[in-house]
Structure 1
Amino acid sequence: MRLSKFKFELPKELIAQYPSERRDESRLMVLNRKTGKIEHKIFKDILGYFNEGDALVFNDSQVFPARLYGNKERTNAVIEVFLLRELSQEKLFWDVLVDPARKIRIGNKLYFGEGETMVAEVIDNTTSRGRTLRFLFDGTHEEFKKELYSLGGMPLPPYIERKSEPLDIERYQTIFAKNEGAVIAPAAGAHFSRELMKRLEIKGCELAYITVHFGLGNSRDIDVEDLTKYKMDSEPLIIGEDAEKIVNTAKDARKQVCAIGGSVLRAMETATTALGYLKPYNDWTNKFIFPEYNFVLVTSTVTNFHLPHSIMMMQAAAFAGYDFLMEAYSVALKEKYRFGVYGDAMLIL
C-alpha cells in the first residue's frame, strides 16, 4: 500500500473550524461492509445500530491545555511552546516543541503570562524542534499545574485556523475524559452526549473505557511512499480488567464489539490475543494499521472524516476496505460532510 493512494482534493471550506452546536447532532454516515450500503443519518441515530449486550469501547484520555505562548529573554520574541509530556514532577521538567526553533538555545529563558508569572529555562535540545524545559516555580506541584494550565490553550490541530477559544475547553474533549495526558482529542468519542450515553445504557449496551494518550505522532506527515517502511511514534496504553471482561463477554455472546475512535481500534488490536480475545495491558504501543489488515476482535468502529494522507484515514480504510472507504469519501465530498476533529462521523459496520 502506497501513501499516494490516500490523496484526494479536500476543499478548505469542508474542514470544520468549530464543532456542531450539540455533540450528538453532527452528521453520521453509516457504512455496511456486508451490503455495501451507505446511509446518511444524524449522530444520535447511532442508537438504532446497537442492541443489548453489545460492547462499546471508549478512550477516557483527557486532553490538557498544551499550547503556551512565551517571550524570550532580552529579545522579547514570541515563542510557541507545545507541551508534550511531563518528565519529572519533582524537577518540573517537560518535553516540549518550540516554534520558531531556530531562536531557542540551551540556557535561554522564556517568560509566560502577564507580569511574567511563569518562567522556564531550556536545559536540553532533544530534536531539531524539541526541547526540554525546566519550569522555575516556588510552590506545590498542584499549584504549578494550576498556574501552567491557566496560561495554556487547548492544542487545536494546525488545520483549525484560529486560536483556542473558551468553547474548546469543553468541546475539544469527551464528556467522560478523566485521565490526563493526550494532546489530540479522541474525536469520535466527542460526539457522544450524556443523553446518548444514558440511552445506550438503558438499551442494555455495555460501555467500557480504556486509556490511550493520543500523541502528535498521529498528525505527523508520513515521509515515505511505501507504508510498510513507516514507523509510528509510541503512545501509552492502559486496558484494565473491567474493559477486558466487557469486551470478551460480548465476543463470546457474538455481540458487537465497537471501537469508538481510531485510538481505541489500534489499542484493541495491540492487546488482542492469538485467539481473538482482549487482554489487560499497561505498556506502550506503536502499532500502525493500514490496508490490508485482518481485524479479529472489533466488529464495528466509529471514526471521523480525516484529512488526506492521514494515519487515521489509513486505519479506517483498513477496517472498511480501501475501495469502500474511498467511495464513502467521494460521497462525503459531494454531500459536503465536514472533515477533521470537529467534523462529522462515520460508523463502519
Structure 2
Amino acid sequence: MNGTGGIVNAQSTESSLLFQPWQLGRIELANRVVMAPMTRNRADRAGVLPDSAVTYYGQRAGAGLIVSEAAQPSAAGQGYPGTPGIHDDRQEAQWARVADAVHAGGGKIFCQLMHTGRMSHESFMPPGAKVVAPSPIRAEIEVETIDRVMVPAPVPTELDQDGIDGIIRDFADASERAVRAGMDGVEIHGANGYLPHQFLSPGTNHRTDSYGGSPEARSRFVVELLRAVCDRIGHDRVGLRISPGGQFNDMADKGNDETYLSLIDQIDELRIAYLHTLRRRSTPLHEQLRARWSTTYMLNTGFHGPSERGDLEPLLEAGQADLVSVGRLFISNPDLLDRWRRGIERVGWDESTFYTGGDRGYIDYPAVQH
C-alpha cells in the first residue's frame, strides 16, 4: 500500500479484515469499520451540541473511526434546524468534550464540515447573508426553515470571487477549531447535493468563469478548499466525501465521470488522509477512482439499506476499499463491533427519532452486557 494508509503489523486473533488495525495518516485505527456521518439535529439554536452528544459519541467509540455529524463552518453554512456549528468558542468547547469522550473509549474522530449552499433557507442566514450557490439554480424540492416548516427551496444567489474566498477561509478556520478541540481531523462533505457537490455538477454549476465549464474548472472550488484546509491543519488530517452519480437533493450528476476523475487527479498530490465514496453499485467510474487513488480509500454502500458484516467483508477482501463506513446500524447498536465479533443479533432502529431531538432514540440504545 502506497501513501499514508496501510495495514498495521499487529497480531490479531480474528481473521476478518474488518477487525484489523489500519494506519490512517498519523493515527492508528483499532479496526477498519468507520461510523459514517449522520445528522441527528440535537444542537440548540446557537449551534451548540447538547451534553447528551458527549454520551452519544462516547458510546460508539468502538468504531475504528467516527466521522461526526455535519457541522457548519459558518452561521451562513447552515441549512437544517438543530445542526451544530464549529465557528465559535461555545461550539468548539462542546466538540472538545465529544473528542475527549471518544478518545477515552479508545476511538478516533474526524469532524465533518458541511456548507449546504442552495439547500438552505433565508431563516438560517445571519444579517446581510444570503443563500448562495455556484449558479442561481433552485432545487426543485422543499427545504426546512429554522422553525421546521417545509417550504419551496429558494433561488440562490450566485457566489462571486469574494464569496468563494470567504467560504474557503471559513472551512480552514473551522478545521483549525476542530483540531484545537482535539479532533483527529476533518472530513469535507463534498457529497449529497451540498455546496462542493453543487460546484462539481454541471446541473448546478452553469458558471462561465474559472469555476465552471470544463471538468477541471468545476473541480477548482473543491481543490482550492482542500488545499486551504491542508495548509491549515496538515494534509494527513483531512478527508473528502463524494457521491458520484448521486441524485439526493435534486442533483443531476449522471454522466459526470470526467469531473470526478479530474478532481481525483488534481487532489491526489495533496496526499489527504482518505477519500470517502458513496456507492450504490459498482461502476467503471468507481473502479477507476479506486485504482487512481493512492492513500486510504473508504467506501459506503448502505445509503438505502443497512450494511452488515457479510456485506462489508467482501469489499475489503476484494481490495475495493481499505475502510468501510456504516451508518444507521451504529445508531441502534452503539456496540456494533462487539456484536459482530460475538455473533450477537443487532437491534433495529426507530427512524421516527432520527431527527427529533431529545435523548430517546439517541443515547438509550443499550450495549450487550458481558
Q: TM-score, normalised by structure 2?
A: 0.30
Give the number of the structure whose residues are more often strand, by fraction: 1
Give the number of the structure whose residues are more often helix, by fraction: 2
Q: Using CA pairs under 8 Å that are at least 6 residues apart, name the structure with larger relative contact order, 1 or 2.
A: 1
Q: TM-score, normalised by structure 1?
A: 0.31
Structure whose alpha-carbon radius of gyration is higher: 1
